[in-house]
């Protein structure tokens, strides 16, 4: 695969004009992200930005007792490292890899320099930040106002949208940690979805059998968040 085409597997990089991307190409390093790897910790300086190609990264926010909740998920439609150009370069959330794969890594100071040019890269990153904040906001609304059935449907759809197939490897305990709920609740809800013929679940392997059924069951939070990505980034979904 030609070098440029590979980089275009990431939505943000694929939207850059040729001149902008060519300026970044020598500095983009392909790296392998492994399951459970931490890309940044809250309050700590970030040295790199990451543009996933086929990996999936969860942004998590924790409280003092150690429990955490996923506030956003980043796949090939985005990047990890917003604080590099929006604040002082210190991470505001923990970023944990929950689907290993490839990503492109860029040194933080180079991303900040590119952003400061006030060109297409700045406009693109600002649009992405708005889409990401919409996802975070809808996660907060969903966790507060919607039942676990709807939350799990949304979580599943968000994740398979950012992966190349309808299967995920994720234990119920891991999902419970992401949603900030008890594992027993996830077990009960996943069982309901399986009995309804929407998913199949066995030993940490989840397969979405009926996507349309999930979409009919999910709350409006899913559509609002995804519409923001599609509108702001002209994203093409793989399931369409």
pLDDT digits (tens, 9 = 90+) for 186-208: 999 999 999 999 999 888 889 99
The fold of the 147-218 domain, in CATH, is: Arc Repressor Mutant, subunit A (1.10.10)
Residue 60 burial (10 A CB sphere; 0-12, 13-18, 19+): buried
CA dist 112 and 122 (Å) reads 9
CA dist 117 and 120 (Å) reads 9
Q: How confident is the model at residue 235 (pLDDT cuts 50, 70, 90)?
A: low
pLDDT digits (tens, 9 = 90+) for 105-117: 999 999 999 999 9
Query: Would the pLDDT of 97 be above 70?
Result: yes
pLDDT attached to residue 158: 93
CA dist 121 and 113 (Å) reads 10
Residue 175 CB contacts under 8 Å (≥ 6 apart), including other chains: 152, 155, 186, 190
Residue 147 CB contacts under 8 Å (≥ 6 apart), including other chains: none
Cα distances from 129 to residues 3, 19, 72, 89, 176, in angstroms, run 26, 22, 12, 15, 26
pLDDT attached to residue 154: 95
pLDDT digits (tens, 9 = 90+) for 112-167: 999 999 999 999 999 999 999 999 999 999 988 999 999 999 999 999 998 777 88
pLDDT attached to residue 79: 97
Q: How confident is the model at residue 222 (pLDDT cuts 50, 70, 90)?
A: very high
Share of the chain above pLDDT 90, in %: 71
Q: Tell which wins on pLDDT, 86 or 5.
A: 86
CATH code of the region 3-120: 2.60.120.10
Domains 3-120 and 147-218 belong to one CATH topology: no
Identify the helix (H) or strand (E) that includes residue 191.
Answer: helix 183-195
Task: Return left, alpha or beta for 43; rule: phi > 0 is left, psi -120 to 50 is alpha, else beta.
Answer: left
Segments making up each domain of the chain, as ranges: 3-120, 147-218
């Amino acid at each position: 695969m030609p070098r440029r085409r590979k980089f275009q597997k990431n939505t943000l990089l694929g939207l850059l004009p040729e001149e902008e991307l060519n300026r970044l190409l020598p500095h983009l390093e392909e790296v392998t992200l492994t399951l459970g790897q931490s890309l940044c910790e809250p309050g700590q300086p970030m040295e790199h930005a990451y543009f996933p190609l086929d990996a999936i990264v969860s942004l998590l926010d924790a409280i003092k007792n150690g429990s955490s909740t996923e506030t956003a998920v980043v796949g090939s439609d985005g990047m990890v490292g917003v604080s590099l150009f929006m604040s002082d370069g210190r991470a505001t959330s923990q970023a944990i890899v929950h689907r290993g794969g490839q990503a492109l890594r860029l040194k933080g100071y180079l991303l900040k320099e590119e952003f400061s040019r006030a060109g297409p890269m700045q406009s693109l990153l600002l649009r992405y930040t708005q889409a990401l904040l919409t996802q975070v906001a809808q996660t907060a609304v969903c966790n507060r106002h919607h039942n676990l059935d709807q939350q799990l449907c949304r979580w599943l759809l968000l994740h398979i949208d950012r992966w190349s197939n309808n299967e995920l490897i994720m234990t119920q305990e891991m999902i419970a940690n992401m949603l900030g709920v008890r594992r027993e609740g996830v077990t009960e809800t996943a069982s309901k979805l399986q009995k309804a013929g929407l998913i199949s679940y066995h030993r940490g392997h989840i397969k979405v059998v009926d996507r349309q059924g999930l979409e009919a069951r999910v709350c409006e939070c899913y559509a609002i968040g995804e519409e923001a990505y599609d509108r702001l980034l002209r994203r093409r979904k793989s399931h369409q």
